[in-house]
Amino acid sequence: MKTLEYDTVVIGGGPAGIAAAIKATELGLKTILIENRDLLGGIPLQCVHTGFGLHYFKEDLTGTQFVTRLLDKLEKLRVEYLLKAHVHSIEYLDYDKKLVNVVTPQGVVRILTKTIIYTTGARERHLYEIGVVGDRPDGVYTAGEAQTLMDIYGIMPGREVVIIGSGDVGLIMARRFALEGAKVKAVIEILPYPGGLMRNVMQCLRDYNIPLLLGHTVVKVVGKKRVEKVIVAKVDENFKPIEGTEFEIPCDTVVLSVGLRPYLKVLEKLGIHIDPATGGPVVNEYLETNIPGVFVAGNALVVNDLVDYAVEQGELAAEGAKVFIENKGIPTKNWKLVEKGRNIRLVVPHAVSGERDVIIYARVANPERNVYVQIPELGFRLFSYGVRPAEMIWFKLRKDMFSKLGADVNKITLEVKPR
């Protein structure tokens, strides 16, 4: 087994990982990017729809165009990368020494590194963890799997489709199925509001006359060999099906778009702390986890609505790696915890220094109109006409805002308050 040495190993060649590898290289770090597929790009490669890059490139691009631009830059900078490379395990030797064990078709490669940027993305939740019961027939796909089949391999999973969950991937797949001539019978959403971005509800469902059933759930999948139908019911305020409201929708295909969870298997074995709200790690403003020198970005950190955020986080983690290496650890001594106040479901990062500008990503628990998003300790207040769980709250806290904060204050609280 051969051993290589690097300043930073970026694990996962999607947008966050590519951006992290580019940034780390630009900052002068000896960098290698590890990807388990045979090509770089990650999930956007199979996204033929637009909506990518409005923030980062100030242009509306398809997923493929978006990653192509990133990859051009990566090639120009001659960033090193390994394809078909699976990170088997990580060994923590010392705060600035980690061993990344990589399985490749050429053999096992061991990489000694000072820092790790982990950008492996998220996994899709499946039928069983959301409690759908009934038969277990063929014809059930996750939205991502259906997308891979249609947009990478050009094959149609089925003809008559019911989509469970109105997350963005589900909405986009509803349109893809409709465009390819399938009949999309309905999109079923348990919440009283859609799970995806409003623009996707309009452009993917309304424009194609696809019914969106809010406040409904699939209680049962029925089918001997292949899916034959689903039984749908209205739900009460506790999301329990209301008896007597059941009806059936005949279909041959069920597509699941019931949310993503950060996929951190290898890091979990290393003992990182997980935030139950995000499903991702607890991080400071450099996106460093509780394990020194291990950073996480993109959907492995928190499920983002926009690829632009994943890229931004990748770059941020690279800057963190640079600071870590230069200072033999992140130099901050007094962290201020970011606490969740009224109507905040999740917030990242979990701790800030107040020593530099920092970006805050958050989601609300419930939709609300005419509100202030605020941090009382900093006197920070942002007006919004409406906040929705599907739309991430993004804002920057400038370093000078922290000057008002007393030295003894060790937490700030993010909250949403009606105007």
Partner 1 sequence: MSDKYRVVIVGAGVVGSSIARVLSMYENFDITLVEKEPDVGWGASKANTSIVHPGHEEEPDVHPLRAKLCVKGNEMWRTWAKELEIPVTFPGELMVFTNDEEEKKAREYIKLARLNNVPGVRIIYQEELRVLEPNIAREAKGAVYAPTGGLISPFEAVIAVVENAVENGVKLMTETEVLGVKVSEGRVKGVETNRGFIEADIVINAAGLYSDKITHSAGVELNFQVKPRKGEYLLFDEDIPVKPTRVLHTTPTPITKGVYAITTVHGNVLIGPTAEDLPIEAKGDASTSVKGLDYVYQEASKLLREMPPRSRVIRTFAGLRPEPPGGHWLIKAYSDPWGFVNAAGIRSPGFTSAPAIAEYVANLISETFDIKLVKKTNWNPYRRDITRLNNRPLSEIDELIKKNPAYGEIVCYCKTVSKAEILEAVDRMIKTGIKTITLDGLKFRTYAGFGMCQGAFCRWRIAKIVSEKLGVPLYDVTVKRTKYGIGDVKTLWVERKG
Binding site for partner 1 (CB under 8 A): 1, 36, 84, 86, 88-89, 101, 103-108, 110, 123-124, 126-129, 131, 133-139, 142, 144-145, 148-150, 153-159, 180-181, 219-220, 222, 224-226, 263, 265, 268
Q: What are the C-alpha distances in Å from 26 to residues 22, 144, 228, 315, 417? A: 6, 33, 54, 10, 41
Residue 275 or 391 having the CB closest to partner 1: 275
Residue type, 359: I
Amino acid present at 399? K
At its nearest, how many Å lie between partner 1 and the CB of residue 123? Answer: 5
Nearer to partner 1, 134 or 292 (CB): 134
Q: Which is nearer to partner 1, 135 or 355 (CB)?
A: 135
CB of residue 121 to partner 1, shortest distance in Å: 10
CB atoms within 10 A of CB 91: 12
DSSP one-letter code for 165: -
Least gap, CB of 142 to partner 1 (angstroms): 4
- For the bound state, the minimum distance from the C-beta of residue 225 to partner 1, rounded and expressed in Å, comes to 4
Question: Residue 274 or residue 337: which is nearer to partner 1 going by CB?
Answer: 274
Q: Do 347 and 362 form a contact (C-beta atoms < 8 A)?
A: yes
Relative to beta strand 160-164, strand 183-189 is parallel
User: How far apart are CB 157 and partner 1 at their closest, in Å?
Assistant: 5
267 contacts 315 by C-beta, under 8 angstroms = no
Query: Which of 388, 385, 365, 384 has the alpha carbon at shortest distance from 374?
Result: 384
DSSP 145: H
Nearest to 186, CA basis, from 140, 112, 254: 254
CB of 324 to partner 1, least distance (A): 27
Which residue's CB is nearer to partner 1, number 131 or number 244?
131
Nearest to partner 1 of 69, 220 (CB atom): 220
Judged by CB, which is closer to partner 1: 39, or 382? 39
Residue 368's Cβ-side half-sphere holds a number of Cα atoms within 13 Å equal to: 19
Task: State the nearest-atom distance from the C-beta of 387 to partner 1, in Å.
Answer: 25
Cβ proximity of 363 and 393 under 8 Å: yes
